[in-house]
Amino acid sequence: MKRRAGIRRRRHQKGRLALRYFAWLAIVTLTVGFSACGDDTTGEDGDGDGDGDGDGQYDDIAEPGKADTVWGECEVREVLGFVNDLATTADVLRDAGVHSRAANNIAAYRDGSDTLSGTLDDNFFDDVQELDGVYYVGPIAMEQLVSAIWDRCQVSLHAEVIFSPQEYADSHLARARELIGAAQHSIDLAMYSFSDYSLMDDLEAAVQRGVVVRLLFETANGDHLDPDGSRSARLEDSGIDVRYVNKIMHHKFAIFDGAVTDFDAAYTGTLITGSGNWSNSAGTRYDENTVILTGHSELLLRFQKEFNHLWANSRDFVWNDTLVYYETIPVSEEAIVDNPDVDAVFTSANFRTYISATYGPTFSVITGENAISDRLIQLVDEATESIHIASGHFRLRGLAEALMAKAAANPTMDIRVYLDNQEYISEWYNSLQESDLEDCLVDAGDSESAIRYCYDRGFYFSYPFYAAGIDLRFKYYCYRWHYTYAAQMHHKYLLFDGRIVASGSYNLSDNAEHNTMENMVIYNAHTLPDLVQAFEANFEELWVTGEAEGHYDVLVDEITGTSPTFPIVFDSMALTWPEVTALKELIRDNCPDIDSDDFRTHPEDHTYCER
């Protein structure tokens, strides 16, 4: 409301200025009479530069989309992004070909009455009609503005998704190697886990040919305590500036040749993001998704803005003192052209930043902020036909309650949830966590923060989903989970009505919302139909994992057979809660040692069981 009130005030002031202008004009006319009649030394636009290419004071922009205009939806959006960019000064507008009066007035209007950009009274343009209201912005100025951004609407858009597991040569890791090899000037990388040494070699080669590489690396958060011989030190020795933040860096994204020195590079650069880390397991063993986008400027700029924000508030991994810290051109929210069919949400919005006297740049959680969770709940509430979820975890109370409410209100709606092996809990364990919650709330008393902690701490929702009648399956591959052999279902995506995909690095948990740096990207089939369809096809494939191969019946036969041993780590299969419960009981009945201290403490040493 403050911003719009400012705009209204600005327009009122503009009206008074117009009256003063006409009064001044009348005086000048009476003074000089007709002495200058026929003397066109100033040019038609009267700005003194003789260019004759300006607009009249009140000329209107032709309505976009009309047959007599050459611009459409893209051009209008990009023009607004261009004039709203605080870096677009009057000089920049003139250099781009906009006539002087329009250039000066556009910049002055946007900068507000204090004539300074980036201050509270800035008036950003909400639509082309508001731009049209600026003096001397008419059809000619609009044509000049469209010409300035024309190339932005002619870029070739590319979008693909790679689903893991794959052979390495077909994986997202191989694709990342190609992109590193093709990078010309910059690579910005934010990564939780990075253990593929081929990719490290490729980055080193990129640095050697002049590409600037910056890395926000979760591992550096620990490596800095003992840097000698660490992975972070090796990366810095290769010329890569490595930094970390005081929260968990759980992103898995990279920007190739993005908007680091040139804003327009966002229209040709490439972004890769998704659930997959840069590790061999993520490419060849786990269920993952990695989306590759080229030319999708909004998403590239949103991720560039996120990277810049984290980089500006990061801590240095002190090792290679020849590396020079630098920041790139700023990306303002107003300069990002909004396409309603795509969006990116970041948990960094849940944190404030400050400089700690002891530790330096610091992120601190803002109580009550739930950037990604709130957006996902909104998508659940808006869904009318189907909700399909594939997620390694589901421990996010607000979203779980929204999903169960949706199922209760729409019992015939196609709601399906597919979770990883480790999310299964028994009815007994669910009763225990419910009891623990009640005890926690009693102890919390009237303390709002303590009550919030009770509700937000890790709570498994798989059994409540089953009890609520939600169609639920697990990717089941072992009796007792351990990372050394886990074939994890590591996706984090949600499908709504077969038209919208939300996918990224974000685990469905309160920990992800308030203790880690995450992203969730929203794609709409209106703009990216093939991408959305690919996610839907992947979900349907996951939903019947192992069914055609008959893995469940084969395993039951092995457990109940006569062989002296049988596997307790086995081929993956999609099982319902009752099927997992029955299988676990069968294994316990036939494996006397399954719950012994040794089996519990060292599950990696026990992939088979003796009868």
The DSSP code sequence of 185-229 is SEEEEEES-B--HHHHHHHHHHHHTT-EEEEEETTHHHHTTS-TT
Residue 305 pLDDT: 97
Residue type, 227: P
Confidence of residue 310 (pLDDT cuts 50, 70, 90): very high
Task: Please give the Cα distance from 465 to 611 (Å, whole number).
Answer: 34
pTM: 0.86
For residue 67, give both structure tokens.
Answer: 């047959």
Work out the angle at residue 257's Cα, subtended by the Cα atoms of residues 209 and 270, and round it to the nearest 5 degrees: 130
The candidate with the shortest Cα–Cα distance to 243, out of 141, 320, 358, 142, is 320
Helix, strand or coil, per DSSP, at residue 385 = coil
Give the percent of the chain with pLDDT over 90: 81
CATH 1.20.1250.20 assigned to domain 342-350+371-425+460-611? The reply is no
Q: Could you tell me which residue, 126 or 65, shows the higher pLDDT?
A: 126
Quote the CA–CA distance of 464 and 403 in Å, as a whole number: 11
**More reliable by pLDDT, 91 or 72:** 91
In the predicted model, is pLDDT for residue 128 greater than 60?
yes
Q: What is the pLDDT of residue 70?
A: 59
Average the pLDDT over each of 16-20, 118-122, 391-395 and give the range with the smallest value: 16-20
At 322, give phi and psi (nearest 5°).
-85, -15
CATH for 158-338 is 3.30.870.10
User: Interhelix angle for 371-382 vs 397-409, to 10°?
Assistant: 10
**Helix, coil or strand: residue 500:** strand
Which pLDDT score, from 0 to 100, does residue 69 have?
A: 56
**What pLDDT is stored for residue 9 in this prediction?**
34
Where in the chain are all domains bearing CATH 3.30.870.10?
158-338, 342-350+371-425+460-611
CB atoms within 10 A of CB 256: 26
d(CA 10, CA 409): 48
- Report pLDDT digits (tens) over 557-584: 999 999 999 999 999 999 999 999 999 9
Pairing of β 471-478 and β 569-576: antiparallel
Question: Which residues, listed in sequence order, are joined to residue 216 by a DSSP beta bridge?
Answer: 190, 243
Give the least confident one: 147-156, 247-256, 260-269, 467-476.
147-156
Mean pLDDT of the chain: 90
Task: Kindly report the number of other CB atoms within 10 A of residue 53's CB atom.
Answer: 19
Report the run of H or E that residue 496 belongs to, with start and end: strand 492-496
pLDDT beyond 80 at 27: no
Place of tokens 């929260």: 247
CB 552, CB 576: distance < 8 Å: no
Structure tokens at 478: 């072992």
String of DSSP letters for 231-286: HHHHHHHTT-EEEE-SSEE--EEEEES-SSS-GGGGGT-EEEEES--BSHHHHHTS
The pLDDT of residue 7:
34
What pLDDT, in 10s, does the model give residues 492-531? Answer: 999 999 999 999 999 999 999 999 999 999 999 999 999 9
Nearest to 72 by CA among 156, 152, 132: 152
What is the pLDDT confidence band of residue 62, given thresholds at 50, 70 and 90? confident
Contact 392, 488 (CB under 8 A): yes
Instruction: Tell how strand 248-249 and strand 252-256 pair up.
Output: unpaired
From 101, 133, 128, select the one nearest 14 (Cα to Cα). Answer: 133
Give mean pLDDT, residues 179-203.
97
Q: What value does the mean pLDDT take over residues 92-110?
A: 95
Provide the pLDDT for residue 36. Answer: 33
